[in-house]
Amino acid sequence: MIPERFLTKTTNTPSSCLRIANELMLANGEEAKDTNFVFSPYSIQLVLSLAANGAKRSTKEELLTFLEAENMDELNSRNKDLIDHYNFADGTVLSCISGVWVDQSLPLKPNFKRRAENIYKGKAESVDFQNETKREELIAYVNKWVEKSTNGLIKSILPDNSLTDETRLVLANALYFKGRWDYGFNKSLTKDYKFNLLDGSTVEVPFMSILSGAERLIATLEDFKILKLHYSGGRVSMYIILPNKQDGLWSLLEKVGSDPNFLEKYHKDLRTVRVRTFRVPKFKISYGFEAKEVLQNLGLNSLFSCEAELGDSVQGLEPGQLLKVAAVHHKSIIEVNEEETEAAAVTEMDDELSISDEPPVLPVDDFVADHPFIFMVRDYWTGVVFFMGHVVNPLLD
């Protein structure tokens, strides 16, 4: 049963999720100019929501404002709805769990522990950050937890020596997605073609294809095209946003990154077309980064400062002793092939491919993603962006 609030409008997720997506795309897109890039704005949003449950006073208000919630009940109800209703019955798999590890000298407050476990499907455990051997064991343990939670796609999230004797609290979120295409690709049609790189050179890469005359959803705009590929069930889709110019990725990135409503604005331009030439490269991307600076640029300053107030997460803080977030480690992996998309970190009436006695005359178009492009994986009901990134060279891992 689809919750009624998911039927009233396409986007029920806060715009902060989209602002995280846009800001990280712009910031890391600049750093990742020579490599492929992927991240999960939804995963980062959930970690911030979990932190909000342990915050108080100005830090709590800052997080609630950023996450666009009036209070904790609204924030937690919204996240619980999202997490609980990501149990797909159509072969699509989305696993989303969280983890909390706190120094044994500061027991978790019962309310925070209960919310972490019941709402955010997390585990909450006490550990010894003071012992170097125990810290190393915890890094290995958390990385093993991440590997298991992402079906082996992500092997680690915490770098060596990332925990110190000053660490008191670690929050983590792991997101795993696997979706089969609603209309798959025939492997026998996959062939190598040239992919144009930003420096003007080319590489030979495997391109997935479909037979000429097949129907797909494509929007053709002045400077770019958008392709929408449904996963099984139609609720989740991958969007490929392809600039018309071979070197147009960065100007397109500016356009996408500066407008949180970009996809909503151009979604209405999607049309069912008969394709002549259709090619999309296979790709696999792994990318990790530290998100603290970008989140500070978005206005989350208290969380990382010496004035941070996370005292609602633990007991035993001395007068004047405060908890703060030292780092936000994030890593995502996505793999796209003929049968499915696997990644870690739509029932639309106007988009349905219909069959009738008298088929309508459809426009004809091409979609050849033979140069750098942007992609996103998005849930239609809620507007949540699970994964977003860009491809500059499909051969790069």
Residue 44: CATH number of its domain: 3.30.497.10
Q: How many Å apart are CA 134 and CA 159, to the nearest integer?
A: 15
Q: Are 271 and 128 in contact (CB under 8 A)?
A: no
Please enumerate in sequence order all residues whose Cβ is within 8 A of that of 387, keeping only pairs 6 or more positions apart, or say none: 38, 39, 40, 177, 332, 334, 343, 345, 375, 376, 377
373-379 and 385-391: which strand pairing? Answer: antiparallel
Q: What is the pLDDT of residue 360?
A: 57
My answer on whether 240 and 130 are in the same domain is no
The CA-atom distances, in angstroms, between 108 and each of 80, 127, 303, 322 are 21, 11, 18, 15
Confidence bin at 52 (pLDDT 50/70/90):
very high
Q: Are residues 160 and 56 in the same domain?
A: yes
The answer to whether residues 258 and 325 belong to one domain is no
- Is 32 domain-assigned? yes
Is 71 a residue whose pLDDT tops 90? yes
Residues 256 and 385 in one domain: yes
Q: Do residues 147 and 34 share a domain?
A: yes
- The four Cα atoms 278, 354, 90, 219 give a dihedral, to 10 degrees, of 40
pLDDT band at residue 18, thresholds of 50, 70 and 90? low
Per-residue pLDDT tens over the stretch 117-140? 899 888 888 888 888 898 899 889
The reported pTM is 0.85
What CATH number is attached to the domain comprising 365? 2.30.39.10
Tell me, yes or no, whether 212 lies in a domain.
yes
Buried b (16+ CB within 10 A) or exposed e, 318-334: eeeeebbbbebbbbbbb
pLDDT value at residue 361: 61
Q: What is the mean pLDDT of residues 51-64?
A: 91
Report residue 48 as tokens. Answer: 């911030």
Name the DSSP letter for residue 395.
T
* Backbone torsions φ then ψ of 379, nearest 5 degrees: -90, 125
In a domain, 344, yes or no: no
Q: Let me know if residue 342 belongs to a domain.
A: no
Answer yes or no: do 187 and 162 share one domain: no
- Given a cut of 70, whether residue 358 has pLDDT beyond it is no
Instruction: Report the phi/psi class of residue 392: left, alpha or beta, with left for phi > 0 and alpha for psi in -120 to 50.
Output: alpha
> Domain containing 170: what range?
10-179+285-334
Least confident residue range of 43-47, 173-177, 189-193: 173-177
- Note whether 173 and 153 are same-domain residues: yes
Same domain, 124 and 272: no
Flag whether 274 is in a domain.
Answer: yes
Over pLDDT 70: what percentage of the chain?
87
Instruction: Name the token pair of 194.
Output: 């040239």
DSSP letter for each residue of 91-103: S-EEEEEEEEEEE
Q: DSSP readout, 211-274? A: -TT-EEEEEE-SSEEEEEEEBTTSSEEEEEEEESSTT-HHHHHHHHHT-TTHHHHHHTT-EEEE
- Do 161 and 211 fall within a single domain? no
275 shares its domain with 198: yes
Number of structural domains found in the chain: 2
Residue 133 lies in a domain: yes
pLDDT for the residue numbered 106: 83
Cα–Cα distance, 118 to 36 (Å, whole number): 36
Which residue do the tokens 């590997």 mark? 147
DSSP state of 80: H
Q: What is the pLDDT of residue 3?
A: 43
For residue 290, pLDDT over 50 is answered with yes
Residue 63: other Cβ atoms inside 10 A: 23
Domain match, 217 and 273 both: yes
Poorest-pLDDT segment among 9-13, 109-113, 338-342 = 9-13
Query: What is the spatial distance between Cα 342 and Cα 361, in angstroms, rounded to a whole number?
Result: 35
Strand, coil or helix: 125:
strand
List of residues 6+ apart from 169 with CB closer than 8 A:
54, 100, 101, 102, 103, 106, 310, 313, 314, 323
For residue 90, being part of any structural domain is answered with yes
Closest CA to 168 of 282, 333, 54, 22: 54
Give the end-to-end CA distance of the chain in Å, rounded to a whole number.
39
How confident is residue 97, by pLDDT bands cut at 50, 70 and 90?
confident
User: Judging by DSSP bridges, how do beta strands 236-243 and 169-180 pair with one another?
Assistant: unpaired
- Mean per-residue pLDDT of the chain: 82
- The answer to whether position 4 is within a domain reads no
386 shares a domain with 311 = no
| 294 three-state secondary structure | helix
Q: Where are the alpha helices (DSSP H) in the chain?
A: 4-7, 15-31, 41-53, 57-66, 72-84, 110-118, 132-149, 249-257, 262-267, 292-297
* Phi, psi of 354, deg, nearest 5: -105, 155
Element (H, E) at 288: strand 283-290
pLDDT reading at 254 higher than 70 = yes
